[in-house]
Structure 1
Amino acid sequence: MSSQPYRLYYDRMTSAFVPHVMLEEMGVDYELVHIDTGVDAHETEEFRAINPNMLIPTLGLPDGRTFGENGAQLVMLGDLHPESGMVPRIGDEDRPAFLQWLFAIATTGHTTIRRYSYPEEYSTRYDAQDSVSEAAYRQLTRFYSVLDGVISGEPWFLPRGFGPLDIYTILILIPFEGDALADILDTRPSLARLHAATHARPTVERLWNFYFGADA
């Protein structure tokens, strides 16, 4: 591969947090490209050429190819850098579980927090938005319980140790804080341990504050 660095097209308050932590933890060279979604910079023709889906985050590979979707980015980074040990290799015993729960988090967890947080995007009727959020909340709490039952690394998601599933799992808890978060974690001990251990990592906490802190 080329010696050019990875390029992470990001904005704060987005899930670019997930591949950003991965890049930092793997210790690979990368550069950040800020795309200001507040002024719809992700909807320009210039950015459409980089990611036709016009979504953040987008990851640029050292050879110049670019692509989106958190799950795909995490798998690609791990496969390109197997020495990091963060993603099970093809043939590893825990590869199937890794892929199953990575894509469950992406398709069930991540999409449902959007329905919960932005119900106006999922209904054309203003009077239906509360119902959209309520249904999303029920689906999220059920999914959190499912995750609590399959976390097997104590405290990490997989026994191999800290990895992408841990990073992505704390992201899908982001709609909740304070008492609301405590209510979710109090009855899900494995999820609570994963949440605490992941946030205790210096890289995670630094980037969490960068993306979601008071100044984000």
Structure 2
Amino acid sequence: MTTPLKLFYATGVCSLPVHIVLHELGKPFEVIRVDLRTKKLATGGDLADVTPKSYVPALELADGSILTETAVILRYLADTNPEASLAPRHGGIDRVRFDEWLHFISTEFHKAFATFTIMDRPSEESKRWAAERLAKRVTLLADGLGARTYLFGDSFTVLDAYAFWALRMYQALTKAELPETLRAYMTRLRDRPTVRSAFAAEAA
């Protein structure tokens, strides 16, 4: 029997998109909660023994190796489960455009939270600058979504799992309102059974 994938996660952080996608796949998987303050696993042991990066998400594959970085894990899950249609197949411009969006969310949006999350005592000026920069990224996401149901068309993909977490975090950090199209988009995602399942599992 194939060993299930194992997700090392912490509540409320960027492991949530991976947790959502694992539910989307409908296959058995295991989860291990991590205390990011102490870097300890709920099952005992240290996160550093899982990954020297000492942050989540970390995904243990069937062969026991560890995969890290949210965007990379999401792409891996989509590509190793093509029947789930969570990303376009490789070889065409659709996949290139898809990866362009995935990198945008990871590097231009997610990583821009740093002023609020890891900077030591940021000034009010720094927070205003960061919020204004993030707001421009939100506008780009809203324009990219347009009238579509999901970011890359009419079907849910790993992009949507990542965008859902990032937009929630943006609102929590900046207290800003989302454009109307993104508010409706977020409601659709919150109502998705796999999203509810991931939230329920992390609250347990």
User: What TM-score does the superposition give when structure 2 sets the normalisation length?
Assistant: 0.87
Contact 2:8 2:33 in 1 (8 A): yes
Separation in structure 2 between the aligned mates of residue 74 and residue 204 of structure 1, nearest angstrom:
15
Q: Which residue of 2 aligns with 1:18?
A: 17
Q: Which residue of 2 aligns with 1:109?
A: 109
In the TM superposition, what is the alpha-carbon distance from 1:152 to its structure 2 partner?
A: 5.6
Separation in structure 2 between the aligned mates of residue 207 and residue 45 of structure 1, nearest angstrom:
24
Give the percent of matched residue pairs that are identical in Structure 1 and Structure 2: 23
Q: Which residue of 2 aligns with 1:122?
A: 119
Deviations 1:1-47 (Å, cap 9, x if unpaired)? x71000001121221111010010011221011222232327x9843
Within the alignment, does 1:67 sit opposite 2:67 as a pair?
A: yes
1:143 corresponds to which letter in structure 2?
R
Separation in structure 2 between the aligned mates of residue 133 and residue 90 of structure 1, nearest angstrom:
39
Number of residue pairs matched by the alignment? 200
Q: Which residue of 2 aligns with 1:56?
A: 56
Contact 1:153 1:161 in 2 (8 A): no
| 3-state SS of paired residue (1:94) | helix
Contact 2:22 2:29 in 1 (8 A): yes
| 3-state SS of paired residue (1:87) | coil
Separation in structure 1 between the aligned mates of residue 199 and residue 126 of structure 2, nearest angstrom:
28
| 3-state SS of paired residue (1:63) | coil
1:204 corresponds to which letter in structure 2?
V
Q: Which residue of 2 aligns with 1:162?
A: 156
| 3-state SS of paired residue (1:122) | coil
In the TM superposition, what is the alpha-carbon distance from 1:135 to its structure 2 partner?
A: 1.4
Give every structure 1 segment of 4 or more consecutive aligned residues whose post-TM-superposition deviation is greater than 3 Å. 208-211
Q: Which residue of 1 aligns with 2:98?
A: 98
Contact 2:71 2:102 in 1 (8 A): yes
In the TM superposition, what is the alpha-carbon distance from 1:193 to its structure 2 partner?
A: 3.0
1:7 corresponds to which letter in structure 2?
K
Q: Which residue of 1 aligns with 2:129?
A: 135
| 3-state SS of paired residue (1:38) | coil
Contact 2:6 2:30 in 1 (8 A): yes
Give 5+ residue unaligned stretches, structure 1. none
Deviations 1:157-181 (Å, cap 9, x if unpaired)? 112511111111121122426x945
1:122 corresponds to which letter in structure 2?
M
Separation in structure 1 between the aligned mates of residue 200 and residue 15 of structure 2, nearest angstrom:
13
Q: Which residue of 2 aligns with 1:4?
A: 3
Tell me the C-alpha RMSD between the 2 structures: 2.5
In the TM superposition, what is the alpha-carbon distance from 1:131 to its structure 2 partner?
A: 2.2
Separation in structure 2 between the aligned mates of residue 47 and residue 109 of structure 1, nearest angstrom:
26
Q: Which residue of 2 aligns with 1:201?
A: 192
Q: Indicate how the Cα distance of structure 1 residues 101 and 151 shifts in structure 2: closer, same or farther if over 3 A, else same.
A: same
| 3-state SS of paired residue (1:157) | coil
In the TM superposition, what is the alpha-carbon distance from 1:94 to its structure 2 partner?
A: 1.6
